[in-house]
A and B are shown apart, each in its own frame.
Chain A
Amino acid sequence: MNYTLHFGAVWASFDQLLIGLAIGLGLAVAAVAIGTLIGLLSAFASVSHSRILRGISWIYVLLIRNIPLLVLVLLAYFALPQVGIRLDKYESFIASLALYAGAYLTEVFRAGLLSVPKGIVEAARAIGLTRLQTNLFVVAPVMLRNALPSLGNTFIGMFKDSSIAAAIAVPELTFEARKINVDTFRVVETWTVASGLYIATCFTIAALLRRLERRFPKF
């Protein structure tokens, strides 16, 4: 052990790491937002009366969950242009992560939907709400509240997975850390600081989510 710690070189580029962190958060927010929409549609499809809709949801989850995210990202960024779909690195990463999040959230929301008491659905129908109105104004809000803890965990997971964007040169935290590492050779310092930033951010998100959960008490 003759490695002496020199954090100075890392601190000098700390702002780059912070910008990278912000980009990673942005990617996760965009992907989870789109993924939530996909997950909601897919979850409702998975419990619908239509065999076709159930089938589509099932195949989607099956495919996406069995492809590693990294492969999905490479597929979107390098393979799609070959068939004429050209996405820049941000778009292709957000699309990949959104599809990925959507598949996980399908399961989360599906469990949430099954936990919505049948009685309140009937009560909504009894006062004359249509099926769509019942889903929008009764089922979805109750389900989302019940799914909030899992939704939060998924968000934290997706934020960490944003590091995979480094593979296609998206300048997020991991990519920036690798750059600093290459420039300064401060291996231990760089990756320790990067890890610390990940931990601090995830911890903060978790704390914010707990506050949100307390604001909206469980039914």
Chain B
Amino acid sequence: MIPDENARPLLEIRDLRKNFGAVEILKGVDLSLRPKEVVSIIGSSGSGKTTLLRCVNLLEEFQGGDIVLDGETIGYRTSGGKRVRLRDAELSRQRAMTGMVFQSFNLFPHLTAAGNVMLGLRKVKKLGKEEAFAIAEKWLGRVGLGTRLNHYPSQLSGGQQQRVAIARALAMNPKLVLLDEVTSALDPELVQEVLTTVKGIADDGATLLIVTHEMRFAREVSDRIVFMEQGRIAEQGTPEEIFGEGRSERLNAFLKSSRH
């Protein structure tokens, strides 16, 4: 899908600052995504990529800057000139607008594949059991697990678990999907099936913000690559600009070091 150049940004991050105690993790990040755009964030560990994603999904508090999702400022409101974190109910509603897929799958171990996908549909979207099941069936089919609906996470391979996690995120029909190193915990032979699934949802027009170490995959799937270094966006551009000739010295050094 070609993102619409003129559309209003779906996600707009302005001057995002985050610190854990005295340690600054994000030192003023600006980033925006258009609807249907696929953006990959690369960078060495500790550069703040994952923290950035977690801020967007409000799993982390942040100390400065704004995150605007589809026109709504999320996480905080201003009251008498002070930033105030929103209440739990509001945060939960805003979190439901983004989907997140984690490095370590994080499936609910007491629920089947279908149950994992249905929980949010039932409790957050308040859908009836049958309707929720139909949606779960559709999405699990979409990620190639139509025959594994009643399997528990412990009965699935890592790759299958991660595909359930992708179905769980997408079934909620989020405006934006965050993917946090979704293949890093997988055995090498299982990486491809998950990447193929992600490629599929990108082709279907989902808006994706991806943190990844898979350079070839990032190059293949992304409209834009963002290179982070020490809590800042150091460079960004099209895959050709980032991976092609004429890239900067530091990017060159990172790409060389990240090659396995």
Cβ of A120 and Cβ of B106 under 8 Å apart? yes
Report yes or no: A130 in contact with B92, Cβ–Cβ below 8 A: yes
Instruction: Find out whether the CB atom of A117 lies under 8 angstroms from the CB atom of B96.
Output: no
Which residues from B are CB-within-8-Å of A217?
Answer: 152, 154
A209 interfacial contact with B, CB 8 Å: no
- B76-117: which residues lie under 8 A (CB-CB) from chain A? 88-89, 92-93, 95-96, 98-100, 102, 104-110
Q: Please state if B57 and A129 are interface contacts (CB–CB under 8 Å).
A: no
The reply on A119 being an interface residue by CB < 8 A is: yes
Contact B104 A130 (CB under 8 A): no
Contacts of A141 in B (CB 8 A): 110
In the complex, how many angstroms separate the beta carbon of B160 from the nearest chain A beta carbon?
16
Bound-state Cα–Cα, A88 to B100, Å: 55
Interface segment out of the listed B63-71, B119-127, B231-239: B119-127
User: Cβ of A122 < 8 Å from any Cβ of B?
Assistant: yes
B242 close to chain A: CB less than 8 A:
no
Q: Residues 108-144 of chain A: 1 if any B CB is under 8 Å from the residue's CB, otherwise 0?
A: 0000000001011011111111110100011001100
A212 to B169, CA, bound (A): 32
Check: B39 CB closer than 8 A to any chain A CB: no
Residues of A within 8 A of B153 (CB): 219
Q: How far is the CA of A217 from the CA of B109 in the complex (A)?
A: 10
Contacts of B154 in A (CB 8 A): 217, 219
Most A CB contacts (10 A, CB to CB) among B57, B59, B107, B109 go to B109
Over the window 21-55 of chain B, the binary record of Cβ atoms lying under 8 Å from chain A Cβ atoms (1 yes, 0 no) is: 00000000000000000000000000000000000
A contacts with B, residue count (CB < 8 A): 21
What separation, in Å, do the CA atoms of A124 and B115 have in the docked complex? 12
Instruction: Choose among A123, A127, A131, A145 the residue that contacts B124 (Cβ–Cβ < 8 A).
Output: A127
Contacting B at CB under 8 A, from A174-219, are: 217, 219
B interface footprint on A144-185 (CB within 8 Å = 1, 0 otherwise): 010000000000000000000000000000000000000000
Residues in B whose Cβ lies below 8 Å from that of A130: 88-89, 92
B210 at the A interface (CB under 8 A): no
| CB-based contact A126/B99 at 8 Å | yes
Which residues of A in the span 41-83 have a Cβ within 8 Å of any Cβ on B? none
- A128's contact among B93, B104, B152, by CB below 8 Å, is which? B93
Nearest CB of A to B117, in Å = 10
Interface size, chain B (Cβ < 8 Å): 30
Closest to A131 in B: B88
- Is B228's CB within 8 Å of the partner chain A? no
Cβ of B140 < 8 Å from any Cβ of A?
no
Contacts known (A119-B106, A131-B88); A126 close to B124, Cβ less than 8 A: no
User: Which residues of A are found within 8 Å of B123, using beta-carbon distances?
Assistant: 129, 133, 137
Residue of B nearest to A126 (CB): B100
Q: Interface residues of A: mostly helix, strand, loop or mixed? A: helix
B168 within 8 A of A: yes
B186 CB to closest chain A CB (Å) equals 15
The answer to whether the Cβ of B13 comes within 8 Å of any Cβ in the partner chain is no
Q: Is B182 an interface residue (CB 8 A)?
A: no
**Distance from A213 Cβ to chain B, minimum over Cβ atoms (Å):** 14
Give the docked Cα–Cα distance between A142 and B124 (Å): 20
Q: State A128–B125 Cα separation when bound (angstroms).
A: 9
| Complexed CA–CA distance, A31 and B144 (Å) | 48
Across the interface, do A119 and B88 meet the contact criterion of CB distance under 8 Å?
A: no
Which chain A residues lie closer than 8 Å to B143 at the CB level?
A: none
A137: min CB distance to chain B, Å: 6
C-alpha spacing A32/B106, complex, angstroms: 32
Contact B124 A129 (CB under 8 A): yes
Q: Is there contact, CB below 8 Å, between A123 and B88?
A: no
A interface, CB within 8 angstroms of B = 117, 119-120, 122-131, 133, 137-138, 141-142, 145, 217, 219
Binding site for A on B (CB under 8 A): 57, 59, 88-89, 92-93, 95-96, 98-100, 102, 104-110, 119-120, 123-124, 152-154, 165, 168-169, 172
Given contacts A127-B96, A128-B92, 13 further A-B contacts (CB under 8 A): A119-B102, A123-B108, A125-B92, A127-B95, A127-B119, A128-B96, A128-B172, A129-B123, A138-B108, A138-B110, A217-B152, A219-B109, A219-B154
